[in-house]
């Protein structure tokens, strides 16, 4: 039997969806105006031929996504914990040697760094994904690929996604941009709390973009057996309502990613089993063996149908413009040119409004940061002096105050971050959603005008939500607790002082350091939130231009290509009409 080859001469998948095969055959030979459709379809076919199954880990930040991925890999490779990260996408693929491949935005440049062990890999990654070493992605990193010899990776590509905001009603734009590449996902939740309103909203979006979801409840090692049963029962009820599945048939894996990673590092099989991840891996392996190709084919066919819908609109528009009498066509082109001119004016007006709202949201953040500095100083002061009051060493135990502040700061400022995020995100999302409605209306008006002029139905456009890049700040736990320079140590000097004077000096130091800690941490909070705001507005404006440009290009090209036929022979025009009709007939068959 002769083997079918793909466009690069490699073996094609014997189970390519018929929709995809027919669409590729249809679009070939339609000319450069249709090249975008062929490119998109061939990309889908290549994914299927290579059997590359993309599995993402999705969820809210602080749910333990990177720890889970590290546990699945078997080594502590991906940065995690309190390290502030950029929104650079990270994929984990199989390879015999440990490598980190960094792709840059400038002309596809790539840097490959070989690493001997997990620690070296993590150090390399931090150079490109840690916010303090690559602030605001100033190194222009497009993506990072981690190559690792973990057995699981022989069958699957893992995708580490940025976390959605702890109080955001919308997930990050980076995560949503990655979803079309995902064939399935691990949806990670944790017991603190089991699921939030944000995650429920995110799940509704994900269900339409990812063919298969696996639900994991992480951090169960913090729960008693009764608490774990209660959390799983509550989660099952919520997920059943959102997915439409029978709650009893819904599988929820209770896991401890932290325990699992430690077990893999120590080679402790019993701890690995108790972590719950042994069951997850077994389930994934079973899925990959028996269902992967079906799910992958389903995902590729779904995406191919979307491309075909757009292709049909383009073909019908060009065909109708070819069939229109020349005098009518000229009039329609003039009308359409006026539509484009008006759209450009509206685009500029929307851009001006967006710029104004950008300034207003930043002003709201600055006002909130000022308020937080004052309240943080007061609260840290209470913590420090309560530690002094209750210290067994007495009221001069400065180290007790230092340790109390270091322990208190992460949770306290994380809570302030959540409050600030809720305030700013609510304002930002409302403003951008108004602009998105304007953009959607503007793009649709261009498409609809062209469709009306030539009596062509328009395919439905998926509604794009507003998503915010999530950069998480890091917290300064303690500043340098220095003393006045002296040939004699500060401790020796103070021991010789009366206790009242020592207490006064210590209180002055504490007050100064508390003000510094409040300033540094509120500034980190403000900076991270400001980066999120700026990234959201920047990406939104880019998308505004891209969406309108694409609408104008597709509709305008179809109309102007036909209008150019006045310079052709009648026979050539007739041949073009026949070609377009044949292509539309094929598309109709593909769509069923």
In a domain, 109, yes or no: yes
Residues 463 and 560 in one domain: yes
What is the DSSP annotation of 164-207? BPSS-SS--HHHHHHGGG-SEEEEEEESSSS--HHHHHHHHHHH
Residues 401 and 471 in one domain: yes
Residues 242 and 286 in one domain: yes
Among 96, 129, 149, the domain boundary falls at: 149
Residues 276 and 373 in one domain: no
Q: Distance of CA 85 to CAs 125, 137, 476, 533, Å?
A: 10, 10, 16, 16
CATH number at residue 184: 3.40.50.300
In a domain, 32, yes or no: no
Query: Regarding predicted confidence, which is higher, 170 or 501?
Result: 501
Most confident range, picked from 80-89, 389-398, 399-408: 399-408
pLDDT higher than 70, residue 504: yes
Residues 357 and 249 in one domain: no
Most confident range, picked from 47-61, 314-328, 366-380, 524-538: 366-380
Q: What are phi and psi of 251, to 5 degrees?
A: -90, 125
- Residues 6 or more apart in contact with residue 550 via CB below 8 angstroms: none
Residues 351 and 218 in one domain: no
In a domain, 485, yes or no: no
Beta bridge pairs of residue 59:
188
Condensed to tens digits (0 to 9), the pLDDT of residues 113-154 reads 888 888 888 888 888 887 678 776 788 887 889 999 998 888
Tokens of 320: 């109708």
Across the chain, mean pLDDT equals 77
Among 85, 114, 149, the domain boundary falls at: 149
Condensed to tens digits (0 to 9), the pLDDT of residues 325-362 reads 877 877 888 888 888 888 889 889 998 999 999 999 99
In a domain, 369, yes or no: yes
| CA pseudo-torsion sign 19, 24, 30, 32 | positive
Q: What are phi and psi of 55, to 5 degrees?
A: -115, 115
Among 110, 130, 149, the domain boundary falls at: 149
pLDDT higher than 70, residue 35: yes
Classify 104 as helix, strand or coil: strand
| pLDDT value of residue 173 | 58
Residues 87 and 61 in one domain: no
Sole residue written with tokens 């609260």 = 379
Taking each helix axis from N to C end, the angle separating 65-73 and 277-290, rounded to the nearest 10 degrees, works out to 70
Our count of domains for the chain comes to 3
Residues 352 and 210 in one domain: no
As a whole number of angstroms, the distance between CA 157 and CA 240 comes to 28
Residues 425 and 548 in one domain: yes
In a domain, 337, yes or no: yes
In a domain, 30, yes or no: no
Classify 29 as helix, strand or coil: coil
In a domain, 278, yes or no: yes
Residues 334 and 445 in one domain: yes
Write out the residue range of the structural domain in which residue 140 sits. Answer: 75-149
In a domain, 123, yes or no: yes
Condensed to tens digits (0 to 9), the pLDDT of residues 550-581 reads 777 777 666 666 556 545 545 566 777 787 78
Query: Regarding predicted confidence, which is higher, 501 or 471?
Result: 501
pLDDT higher than 50, residue 543: yes
Residues 60 and 80 in one domain: no
Condensed to tens digits (0 to 9), the pLDDT of residues 355-389 reads 999 999 999 999 999 999 999 999 999 988 888 88
Residues 411 and 471 in one domain: yes
DSSP 8-state assignment for residue 164: B
| pLDDT value of residue 488 | 35
């Amino acid at each position: 039997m002769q083997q079918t080859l793909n466009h690069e001469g490699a073996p094609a998948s014997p189970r390519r969806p018929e929709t995809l095969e027919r669409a590729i055959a249809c679009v070939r030979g339609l000319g450069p105006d249709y090249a975008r459709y062929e490119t998109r379809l061939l990309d889908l076919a290549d994914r299927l031929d290579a059997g590359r199954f993309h599995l993402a880990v999705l969820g809210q930040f602080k749910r333990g996504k990177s720890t889970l991925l590290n546990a699945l890999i078997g080594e502590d490779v991906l940065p995690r914990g309190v390290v502030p990260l950029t929104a650079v996408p990270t994929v984990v693929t199989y390879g015999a040697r440990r490598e980190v491949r960094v792709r840059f935005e400038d002309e596809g440049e790539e840097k490959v760094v070989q690493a001997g062990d997990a620690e070296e890999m993590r150090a390399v990654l931090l150079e490109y994904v840690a916010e303090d070493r690559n602030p605001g992605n100033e190194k222009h990193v497009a993506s990072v690929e981690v190559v690792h010899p973990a057995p699981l990776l022989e069958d699957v590509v893992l995708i580490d996604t940025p976390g959605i905001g702890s109080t955001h009603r919308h997930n990050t734009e980076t995560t949503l941009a990655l979803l079309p590449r995902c064939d399935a996902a691990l949806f990670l939740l944790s017991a603190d709390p089991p699921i939030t309103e944000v995650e429920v909203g995110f799940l509704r979006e994900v269900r339409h973009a990812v063919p298969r979801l696996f639900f994991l409840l992480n951090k169960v090692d913090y729960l008693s057996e009764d608490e774990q049963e209660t959390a799983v029962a509550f989660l099952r009820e919520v997920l059943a309502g959102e997915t439409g599945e029978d709650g009893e048939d819904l599988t929820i894996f209770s896991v401890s990613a932290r325990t699992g990673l430690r077990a893999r590092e120590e080679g402790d099989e019993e701890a690995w089993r108790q972590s719950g991840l042994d069951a997850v891996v077994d389930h994934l392996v079973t899925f990959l063996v028996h269902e992967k190709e079906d799910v992958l084919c389903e995902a590729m066919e779904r995406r191919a149908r979307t491309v075909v819908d757009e292709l049909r609109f383009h073909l019908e528009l060009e065909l109708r413009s070819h069939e229109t009498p020349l005098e009518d066509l000229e009039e329609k082109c003039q009308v359409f040119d006026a539509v484009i001119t008006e759209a450009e004016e509206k685009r500029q007006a929307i851009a001006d409004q967006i710029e104004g709202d950008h300034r207003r949201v930043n002003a709201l953040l600055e006002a909130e940061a000022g308020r937080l500095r004052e309240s943080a100083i007061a609260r840290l002061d209470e913590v420090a002096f309560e530690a002094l009051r209750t210290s067994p060493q007495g009221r001069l135990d400065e180290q007790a105050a230092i340790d109390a502040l270091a322990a208190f700061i992460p949770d306290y400022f994380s809570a302030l971050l959540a409050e600030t995020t809720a305030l700013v995100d609510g304002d930002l999302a409302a403003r951008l959603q108004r602009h998105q409605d304007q953009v959607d209306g503007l793009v649709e008006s261009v498409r609809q005008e062209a469709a009306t002029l030539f009596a062509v139905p328009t395919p439905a456009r998926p509604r794009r939500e507003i998503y915010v890049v999530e950069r998480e700040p890091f917290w300064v736990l303690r500043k340098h607790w220095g003393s006045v320079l002296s040939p004699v140590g500060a401790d020796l000097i103070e021991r010789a002082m009366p206790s009242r004077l020592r207490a006064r000096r210590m209180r002055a130091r504490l007050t100064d350091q508390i003000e510094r800690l409040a300033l540094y941490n509120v500034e980190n909070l403000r900076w991270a939130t400001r980066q999120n705001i700026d990234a959201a507005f920047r990406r939104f404006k880019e998308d505004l231009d891209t969406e309108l440009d694409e609408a104008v290009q597709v509709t305008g090209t179809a109309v102007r290509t036909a209008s150019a036929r006045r310079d052709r022979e009648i026979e050539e025009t007739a041949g073009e009409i026949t070609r377009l009709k044949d292509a539309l007939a094929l598309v109709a068959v593909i769509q069923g």
